[in-house]
A and B are shown apart, each in its own frame.
Chain A
């Protein structure tokens, strides 16, 4: 075992603890500036991911410190809009967590089918993949007609992309595999058309999805839905904000309606845990109790 010796040059880095303290203070100022100049409250975001994104922006803009982003927020509306979009972007993919889609198909579809009309809210829809996946699932269960999928996101760029129906990444074998594991009956590509090397979801599926801007942090209940999905969105929030958002999601779910969160998200510490029945623990799918 070769131990290091004193004066090791790699120990004397530019990133000493004092620098990190300064950076953390700049980060807090930046969060305040976003609220003041752009009216987005990111104070409840989990710090680690958000700070990484902020530091990425510093690099992208060729700056040297977080503080230097603040004048952009104050004086350059276009840059400010871009910054907010960069910080709130989420990535997803078609049929992410196939086992969850399978549980939806096996345990929730029959409930949805018992209503003449249905509303589904996809809260935090990113570039649309989850809403598209859901539309395909409903189509294969003959339920798409008379179902309104409301898909919302805080990110205006992502919403524009989602509304266009064009995938950000073309389908791969893995997408096809997840689709089949989700209980898909056909070939995933049947729902897409290709043009200019991009893939676009069928218009009749897109027509059943209503993409709208909604901010889970600052806006109220978006709709009253039979099924609410909010997956891998709250992982970007701190525990306090998670609980607030969970309450909002609960309030948006009708009595006996269903709520699905990310498979690695927990609501055990939230105020709504006692008011839900666990439908599938692994997939984190719950049903609102009738009270």
Chain B
């Protein structure tokens, strides 16, 4: 089976990740065709406002994923609150309500590990600021299967636990500032 995109971008973040993620996504052009999928830990109440916030700052279409939704171009896919978001197949997501991982649902590790197995080398994963280690194992998995992994540089991160854990584990291909991440993504297309 051949997937339809050259790259798939996956972004994870927790405490302090909203600002860098907003910064990165706001710099992408409307014709950025590679699908972007985002898991960011947030409280239940802020789901709609989070999507509204992102929509107002990016030229891409922001959508909250429903179960078995197709992976399509020029979109930013956001996990709904209280579901794990998974890559189910080469062309679709799935959701699940399994137990929390690292006290998180959605968990970044669930998205990253499922993405790694389906898209391997085509994965580009970015892990941003955060206060726990969710996403670190998944990032390593993506790296192991040939994908490209980027960690937000601790000096630019508001909370350094997550980036530092990823770097310590050897899960980072690159350690970048948000500006450098933008440059990297723009050079893809």
Contacts and interface: CB of A to CB of B under 8 A. Distances in A.
Given A10-B144, A17-B120, A242-B68, A235 B173 contact: no
Contacts of B98: 49, 52-53, 91
Contacts of B95: 235, 264
B110 to A, nearest CB: 8
Contacts of A265: 66-67
Interface in A109-143: none
Contact of A266 (B67, B97, B140, B174): B67
Interface stretch (A1-9, A100-108, A212-220): A1-9
Contacts, number: 79
Contacts of B140: 10
Give the interface size class of chain A: 20 to 34
B114 A235 contact: no
B99 interface: yes
B174 A92 contact: no
Interface in A231-275: 232, 234-236, 238-239, 242, 262-266
A47 B114 CA distance: 11
A47 B99 CA distance: 17
Contact of A91 (B68, B99, B171, B184): B99
Interface string A1-29: 11110000111010111001000000000
B155 to A, nearest CB: 14
B60 interface: no
Given A48-B94, A92-B97, A11 B83 contact: no
15 contacts: A11-B143, A11-B144, A13-B144, A15-B141, A46-B68, A48-B114, A49-B86, A235-B83, A235-B95, A238-B68, A239-B68, A263-B80, A264-B67, A265-B67, A266-B66
7 tightest A-B CB contacts, nearest first: A13-B144, A10-B170, A235-B67, A49-B96, A4-B173, A48-B86, A264-B66
